[in-house]
A and B are shown apart, each in its own frame.
Chain A
Amino acid sequence: MAKIETPSDSSGPSISRRNLIKGAAAGGSLLVVPSLLAACSDDGGDTTTTAAAGDTTTTAAGLPLAGTTVSVGSNASDELTKNAYGAMFDRFQEVSGAELDINTVDHNTFQEQINTYLQGQPDEVFTWFAGYRMQFFADKGLATPISDVWSAELDANFDPGFKQASTGLDGEQYFVPFVTYPWALFYRKSVWEEAGYTVPTTMDEWVAVCQAMEADGLVPIAFGDKDGWPAMGTFDYFNMRINGYQYHVDLMAHREKWDDPRTKEVFATWKDMLPYHQPGALGRTWQEAAQSTASGDAGMYLLGMFVGEQFQEFSQEARDDLDFFAFPEINPEFGQDSVDAPIDGFMLSKEAPNDIEGAKALAAFIGTGEAQNYYTAVNSNWLATAKDADTSGYTGLQNKALELIGSVDNIAQFLDRDTRPDFASTVVLPSIQNWLNDPEDIDGITASMEEQATAIFATEQ
């Protein structure tokens, strides 16, 4: 090592360096290589020596972040996503000269261990979600603010809604939006065209379509809530259409009450629509519900655009046939002015200050269309969030989703991202399931939810 750090002439160190790297690789300790490379370029104040020193460092020479290593914790564990992230990270290393150390963890495990992960020795940059879930960790001092990156680079490249979703309770930005997708009612175009159904925009039209489907022997609305979270999307939409986006936000923060007549109205309206939903939802996974829509047994299905994965699995024909429409208007005061569109992105952990320049450069890069297109190119169920993203390769469905998100006034993050996780998973999820078993008992379920909300939110000063 000492030899490397003191390059004496143009040939000597280059040989020893190569040999060392070779030796390290041959010894199986590949992990040593990045640190060796880092060591090589640490002495690179003298650029001529570095350039002369050999091929391994020439690309890094002159790049602003050569020698910096940034660690990234990623929850992109499925093959496709992992590769897309990999391509994006490679590109960043190429343009910046910084080294990235990527640690990919199984998606659910990552989520379940996030508390201990962030309190321990987290990676400097990590994948996470916008909204309350971001604000929670920011508020606990487990994230590093990146407001300067926003004012310098990101502001110009994002719509204000995205910035708002990236802002913590203290007004600083803590999040870089990466990709998003809308929740909507998905259906097969050919099924609808054949039977002559028209896309409903109001509640009455929606009921009429459901009745027509029932008469034709179709299940009007596919429904699967075995995992508990899909019904949260249904609740969100009934709530935002009846009471508006602001009420949704306030209810999630428990500034409005669960036993409020307006909340009960949500359940009452949903109850009237339940007969058109696929029965036995609590024993059915979302995948099974999606399959019944792809096969044409069910007319439509309220879910996120990732439903396309199941259509693809069913058949390419079904995937090409997939279309959606926005949840119909219920209260004319709010029309169709809100959409549930969860945003996935990245945050900087409390460890980020160790390599703050590299971490912030990565944050800025993630906020470019170039980076995001690596992902949208392989997964056509998601949309880039940056303005300068290239949408020319988008499918018709992606373009339509982009239009939907762009056309609304309010973007919600989805129930379990907009409220305390301990409330969403331990109270809302089982309560909605219990209510689905006994839809008449609206008073009972809302009273119980309010009691528990009061107990849980009492911890907030």
Chain B
Amino acid sequence: MGASTTQVATSESTEKKPKKSRFSLHTRRDKVVLALLLGIPAAIHVFFVWVPALLSIVLSFARWDGIGGVEAIEWVGVTNYEQIATIYPPFWPAVTHNFIWLGFFIFIATPFGMFLAVQLDKELKGSRFYQNAFYVPVVLSLALVGFIWQLIYSPEEGLINNLLGRTDPENLIDWLGNPSINLYMILIAASWRHVGYIMILYLAGLKGVDPTLKEAAAIDGATERQTFFHVVFPVLKPINLVILVITIIESLRAFDIVYVTNKGTNGLELLSTAVTNNIIGEASRVGFGSALAVILLLLSLGIIIPYLWRTFRADEKAA
């Protein structure tokens, strides 16, 4: 309070340029308010996100069954990492599957969602209906999506095998049990939801594109395809960035749909399920699970940081 009264007094005494002194500087009160408004959320964030993350890194060098206090923790150096890389069978499949997931989403599901958005942006007849139909799965949790698709894929009682008439032991297709195809079946189920999500985001972006740009392109004789790739797509750069980041995040945090299907075993290994399987429940290999979590963290940072860094640097240069 003292500061603000001084400030008022100062501005009164220097009446010639009151505005400048008043608005160019933050008063101490402003600073306190700013510090509180940014500081409290930052402190909460650091405490609940970065402290546990750092503790996970510390625990990844330990062997601990989660029972007893700190004194029960045995420090084992990089043993956990060594074992993960050498004798833990689910690890390499899990890394591979995470990358397959990422590739499938980036090259198939997300472009398809964008394609649907572009089609719906044309104000076709009944586009509201299509829009809703594609969007409905997004409101379902991935765990629920997993349950729905299990009913479709089930070997004897499932929809697909019954439609194909392949429910006999000799010819049935084991969609979720055959490890060479089940990952892709799960990816289809996950995409069912992801496509709708991307579609609605992109559609929102498309609605914001200035129509005169498209008209100008049309007058210049551009085809629809050219208009999209050379005019609309570059204009939507911020949206494209958001969509790419969302796609990467969704791929790396893939968990629930696989966990409800078979807890991430038999062809559906993912880093996230490997972490969970080692840490929750009675099977508390806290150190081992933490080491897996650290690997997932590094992988995520390794993919997303260079991309954001490059993009933001390019933006700064342009500006």
Judge: A and B partners, yes or no. yes
Residues of A within 8 A of B155 (CB): 280, 283-284, 288
Establish whether residues B280 and A422, one from each chain, have CB atoms under 8 Å apart when the complex forms.
no
- B124-162 CB mask vs A (1 if < 8 Å, else 0) is 000000000000000000000000000001111100000
CA separation between A420 and B263, bound complex, in Å? 19
Q: Select the stretch in B111-119, B168-176, B234-242 that faces chain A.
A: B168-176
- A366-401 CB mask vs B (1 if < 8 Å, else 0) is 000000000000000000000000000000000000
Chain B nearest CB: distance from A267 CB in Å? 16
Residues of A within 8 A of B182 (CB): 283
Q: Select the stretch in A30-38, A65-73, A450-458 that faces chain B.
A: A450-458
Establish whether residues B266 and A288, one from each chain, have CB atoms under 8 Å apart when the complex forms.
no
If the complex has contacts A219-B169, A426-B277, are A456 and B285 also in contact, measured as CB distance less than 8 A? yes
Establish whether residues B89 and A434, one from each chain, have CB atoms under 8 Å apart when the complex forms.
yes
Residues of A within 8 A of B176 (CB): 226, 282-283
Establish whether residues A283 and B177, one from each chain, have CB atoms under 8 Å apart when the complex forms.
yes
Q: What's the A-B contact tally at a CB cutoff of 8 Å?
A: 113
If the complex has contacts A283-B155, A288-B156, A426-B278, are A226 and B284 also in contact, measured as CB distance less than 8 A? no
Residues of B within 8 A of A115 (CB): 65-67, 281-282, 284
- B276-298 CB mask vs A (1 if < 8 Å, else 0) is 01101111110000000000000
- B83-113 CB mask vs A (1 if < 8 Å, else 0) is 1000111100000000000000000000000
CA separation between A291 and B74, bound complex, in Å? 48
CA separation between A140 and B153, bound complex, in Å? 43
Establish whether residues B89 and A431, one from each chain, have CB atoms under 8 Å apart when the complex forms.
yes
Establish whether residues A425 and B156, one from each chain, have CB atoms under 8 Å apart when the complex forms.
no
Selected contact of A433 from candidates B67, B265, B280, CB within 8 Å: B265
CA separation between A227 and B265, bound complex, in Å? 9
Chain B nearest CB: distance from A301 CB in Å? 14
Selected contact of A434 from candidates B66, B262, B266, CB within 8 Å: B266
Establish whether residues B280 and A430, one from each chain, have CB atoms under 8 Å apart when the complex forms.
no
CA separation between A151 and B203, bound complex, in Å? 74
Establish whether residues A111 and B281, one from each chain, have CB atoms under 8 Å apart when the complex forms.
yes
Establish whether residues A430 and B63, one from each chain, have CB atoms under 8 Å apart when the complex forms.
no
Establish whether residues A111 and B282, one from each chain, have CB atoms under 8 Å apart when the complex forms.
yes
Would you call A114 an interface residue if the criterion is a C-beta within 8 Å of the partner chain's C-beta atoms?
yes
Would you call B179 an interface residue if the criterion is a C-beta within 8 Å of the partner chain's C-beta atoms?
yes
Chain A nearest CB: distance from B76 CB in Å? 9
Would you call A242 an interface residue if the criterion is a C-beta within 8 Å of the partner chain's C-beta atoms?
no
Selected contact of B285 from candidates A227, A280, A426, A437, CB within 8 Å: A426
Would you call A459 an interface residue if the criterion is a C-beta within 8 Å of the partner chain's C-beta atoms?
yes
CA separation between A136 and B65, bound complex, in Å? 11
Selected contact of A430 from candidates B83, B87, B265, B284, CB within 8 Å: B265
* Interface residue total, chain B, C-beta cutoff 8 A: 38
Residues of A within 8 A of B90 (CB): 430
Would you call A292 an interface residue if the criterion is a C-beta within 8 Å of the partner chain's C-beta atoms?
yes
Residues of B within 8 A of A280 (CB): 155, 169, 172, 174, 177-178
Establish whether residues A292 and B156, one from each chain, have CB atoms under 8 Å apart when the complex forms.
yes
Establish whether residues A282 and B266, one from each chain, have CB atoms under 8 Å apart when the complex forms.
yes
Would you call B41 an interface residue if the criterion is a C-beta within 8 Å of the partner chain's C-beta atoms?
no
Would you call B221 an interface residue if the criterion is a C-beta within 8 Å of the partner chain's C-beta atoms?
no
Establish whether residues A112 and B266, one from each chain, have CB atoms under 8 Å apart when the complex forms.
no
Would you call B302 an interface residue if the criterion is a C-beta within 8 Å of the partner chain's C-beta atoms?
no
Selected contact of B283 from candidates A292, A422, A431, CB within 8 Å: A422
Establish whether residues B157 and A288, one from each chain, have CB atoms under 8 Å apart when the complex forms.
yes
Would you call A439 an interface residue if the criterion is a C-beta within 8 Å of the partner chain's C-beta atoms?
no
- B175-198 CB mask vs A (1 if < 8 Å, else 0) is 111110010000000000000000
Which residue of chain B lies nearest to A281 when distances are taken between CB atoms in the complex?
B177
Would you call A228 an interface residue if the criterion is a C-beta within 8 Å of the partner chain's C-beta atoms?
yes
Would you call B306 an interface residue if the criterion is a C-beta within 8 Å of the partner chain's C-beta atoms?
no
Chain B nearest CB: distance from A442 CB in Å? 15
If the complex has contacts A283-B177, A283-B178, A437-B179, are A459 and B63 also in contact, measured as CB distance less than 8 A? yes
Chain B nearest CB: distance from A54 CB in Å? 47
Binding site for A on B (CB under 8 A): 63, 65-68, 74, 83, 87-90, 153-157, 169, 172, 174-179, 182, 262-263, 265-267, 277-278, 280-285
Q: List 24 A-B contacts (CB under 8 A).
A: A112-B280, A226-B177, A228-B266, A279-B174, A280-B172, A280-B178, A282-B179, A283-B153, A283-B155, A284-B156, A288-B155, A292-B156, A421-B281, A422-B278, A422-B283, A422-B284, A423-B283, A426-B283, A433-B266, A437-B267, A448-B87, A452-B88, A455-B83, A456-B285
Binding site for B on A (CB under 8 A): 111-112, 114-116, 119, 133, 136, 140, 142, 219, 226-228, 278-284, 288, 291-292, 420-426, 429-431, 433-434, 437, 448, 451-452, 455-456, 459
Q: A115-B282, A279-B172, A288-B154 are in contact. List 8 more A-B contacts (CB 8 A).
A: A282-B174, A283-B153, A283-B155, A283-B175, A284-B154, A284-B177, A424-B283, A456-B285
